Chains A and B, each alone.
Chain A
Amino acid sequence: MEEFFQQLTNGLAVGGIYALIALGYTMVYGVLKLINFAHGDLFTYGAYLGLTLLTSLALTDRLGFVAGVLVLALMVMGLVAVLGAILERAAYRPLRESPRLSAVVSALGASIFLQNTLMLIYGARFQVYPDHILPAATLNIFGLYLPLMRVLIVLASVVMMVALYLFIQKTKIGTAIRAAAIDQGAARLMGIDVNRVIMLVFLVGPALGGAAGLMVGLYYGQINFTMGWVYGMKAFTAAILGGIGNIPGAMVGGLLLGVIEALGAAYISIAWKDAIAFCVLILILIVRPTGLLGERVADKV
């Protein structure tokens, strides 16, 4: 039983990261019906920018751990958000009226471009976050070892997800985003500037992805330029699992995928972990083709 709870927390920590990245996929899909394959690479940029800012500005030395990491997170989120907006402007907006497939190809191209740019700047070797930045405290709750950082990662993901949910549901801008997601033409007729909504989506999604990248860098330490691929695929799966285009769906899908992986590995086979996760995905899609919380039918792409 103890092992079960330990594995459950392991799964939740991984799932929290998946969920944060999945939000970026699902928001873009909701508004544009486009799978932004470059999203995983924006996540990687978050990790690399975090490393560069952390070491060059020595934030945690100057401001202490809590304030330093908060400032760092805001800076990384801001920079990756700008990068996301540039990506939209350069790679997707010119293709807004083109067939959907063109935009998908453009997304794949942007992914390759971003990944290799990173390799040229930082080199192909693994980069490592400096040691001893984080408090290495481990909480011991009823015999469960929970490194403090894992708890903080899950908490930070949840806080960001709840903030996003409230932003989308309760504010005027959020309403505009939802309107544009339902029907762009009608939204435009109601006086909503759809281009600005899309730009906003490309600011918020990558910002969350960048934050996830920073958390992965801070906690796991080791980053490399291809890591966005694995995380991107998993997060994309999580978005489908929860119902792509649906924001609470991405959160549920991410956490669920993490837990399925952890429990599958623990009780069936480690080597078959991914296969188990994808089997569950297939089963869920057979029963609910639109994903767990999806309402609209994902008919394109």
Chain B
Amino acid sequence: MKQKLLALAVAVGLVVGAAAQAADTVKIGLMAPLTGSWASEGQGMKKIVELLAEQQNAKGGVLGKQIEIVTEDDGGDPRTASLAAQRLTTKGVAAVVGTYGSSVTEASQAIYDEAKIPQIANGSTAIRLTEKGFKHFFRTAPRDDEQGRMAAQTIDKLGFKTVAILHDSTSYAKGLADEANALLKKKGTNVVFFDALTPGERDYTTILTKLKSANPDVVLFTGYFPEAGLLLRQKKDMNWKVPFIGGDATNNSDLVKIAGKEAAEGYYFLSPPQPQDLDTADAKAFLAGYQKKYNEMPASIWAVLAGDGFQVMVAGIAGAKSTDSAKIADYLHKDLKGYAGLTGSLSFDAKGDREGEVYRVYQVDAEGKFIMQK
């Protein structure tokens, strides 16, 4: 009984304390996977958003008030996320940044929409998220079909005329392969091969032999890095010198370890830029500040996209001159054009999707390093 009373007293104290503060700060919610299997992403998101809030407050905050970040853990799990979203809606936040996984974001979307709180997701790339007609939902991450468009464009730009497409039957890889295939055919590029390998095997020489007889200028492989590494290695053993292009699922340093440096050299892949490759002056200053405060680089680009989400929301509140959700959403949809974010320029279309290119082309050099192509 005593414990319950104590807990009640603490709870009342917290609520009263929070209410007392509400008047002189603008609260922005952060929903992130602080625990669970994506914890490193979530911790990175928290560090970045807190640093940016600190910097913004030093410049005077927004609407003449200081910004207060209210963080909730979604555990990288849809059920935990819906609870976290419900807690955030009761805390008087003007906007919410987050979260990482598509299914986790999906579990929270309707809750924020009903509470009329603008939400900006950072790592959720599933197409369906912005096809539901939510007026208050935005994302800084590219959509999955964006990558297919970029793949087709890159193949075109590098001047390849005949293309072989290989996927691994996962929904991600097959989706990307289908998207690229349709776009390439529309452009008149000759797709001479389209098939899937079985992930988890060791020997892909059968597939490579068949690919070789189709004689493509380039092979687009949309699967993951373990298979990509083996393909490159066995391709080299076969003395076949065709270039390979992969998707962002091959952006992993283990790729070079598996393939060996010689076999990996020259391999192209598409990926959002690595944090260390962000090249605008703002981004460089931010990375230096991050390095100083936390003594490390941001773990991934997805966490940096949460920072962009935060900045966009602050810009939205400042632009709308209000914390009214309809005005913020309206401003972001219509008036925010070419905002200079950490990962490049930010604008949003009517669905809340980010406009402009996020993907970059990378190539593996002789040292096995991933070099961003200009």
- Measuring CB to CB, which residues of chain A are less than 8 angstroms from any residue of chain B? 3, 6-7, 10-11, 13-14, 125-126, 128, 131-132, 136, 138, 145, 147, 216, 220-222, 224, 226-227, 230-231, 261-262, 265-266, 269-271, 273-274
Contact = CB atoms under 8 A, between A and B. Distances in A.
Contact of A271 (B195, B202, B237): B195
Given A7-B210, A220-B233, A266-B206, 19 more contacts: A3-B213, A10-B205, A10-B206, A13-B205, A125-B254, A132-B260, A136-B237, A138-B237, A138-B239, A216-B202, A221-B260, A226-B200, A227-B202, A265-B207, A265-B210, A266-B209, A271-B197, A271-B198, A273-B198
Given A126-B226, A131-B261, A145-B238, A220 B203 contact: yes
Interface of B: 169, 195-198, 200-203, 205-207, 209-210, 213, 226, 229-230, 233-234, 237-239, 254, 257-258, 260-262
A126 B237 contact: no
B174 to A, nearest CB: 10
A217 B196 CA distance: 24
Nearest to B205: A10
A270 B258 contact: no
Contact of B258 (A3, A128, A138, A273): A128
12 contacts: A3-B210, A6-B209, A10-B205, A13-B205, A126-B226, A131-B262, A222-B258, A224-B226, A262-B206, A266-B209, A271-B195, A271-B197
Given A131-B261, A138-B239, A220-B230, A271 B206 contact: no
Q: Across the A-B interface, give the 7 residue pairs with the lowest CB-CB distance, nearest first.
A: A271-B196, A220-B202, A222-B258, A270-B195, A131-B260, A10-B205, A128-B257
Max count, chain B CB within 10 A of own CB: residue among A3, A145, A270, A273: A270
Contact of A222 (B206, B229, B261, B262): B229
B201 A230 contact: yes
Contacts of B230: 220-222
Contact of A270 (B196, B234, B239): B196
B351 to A, nearest CB: 33
B118 to A, nearest CB: 38
A243 B231 CA distance: 33
Contacts of A3: 209-210, 213
Contacts of B233: 220-221
A201 B182 CA distance: 55
Max count, chain A CB within 10 A of own CB: residue among B197, B201, B239: B201
Contacts, number: 81
A171 to B, nearest CB: 34
Contacts of B203: 10, 13-14, 220
A24 B206 CA distance: 26
B226 A270 contact: no
B254 A270 contact: no
B195 A269 contact: yes
Contacts of A136: 237
A142 to B, nearest CB: 15
A10 B201 CA distance: 14
Contacts of B234: 220
Given A126-B226, A136-B237, A7 B209 contact: yes
Nearest to B208: A10
A222 B210 CA distance: 22
Contacts of A221: 230, 233, 258, 260
Nearest to B168: A271
B209 A274 contact: no
A55 to B, nearest CB: 13
Contacts of A224: 226
Max count, chain A CB within 10 A of own CB: residue among B198, B203, B261, B262: B203
A231 B202 CA distance: 9
Max count, chain A CB within 10 A of own CB: residue among B202, B261, B262: B202
Contacts of B258: 126, 128, 221-222
Nearest to A229: B200
A274 B258 CA distance: 25
B251 to A, nearest CB: 15
Contacts of B209: 3, 6-7, 10, 266
A6 B201 CA distance: 19
Contacts of A125: 254
Contacts of A226: 200
B206 A270 contact: yes
Nearest to A127: B257
Contact of B210 (A131, A132, A270): A270
Nearest to A224: B226
A11 B196 CA distance: 18
A294 B205 CA distance: 31
B266 to A, nearest CB: 17
A230 B210 contact: no
Contacts of A128: 254, 257-258
A238 to B, nearest CB: 15
A126 B206 contact: no
A234 to B, nearest CB: 9
Contacts of A220: 202-203, 230, 233-234
A270 B262 CA distance: 27
Contacts of A126: 226, 254, 257-258
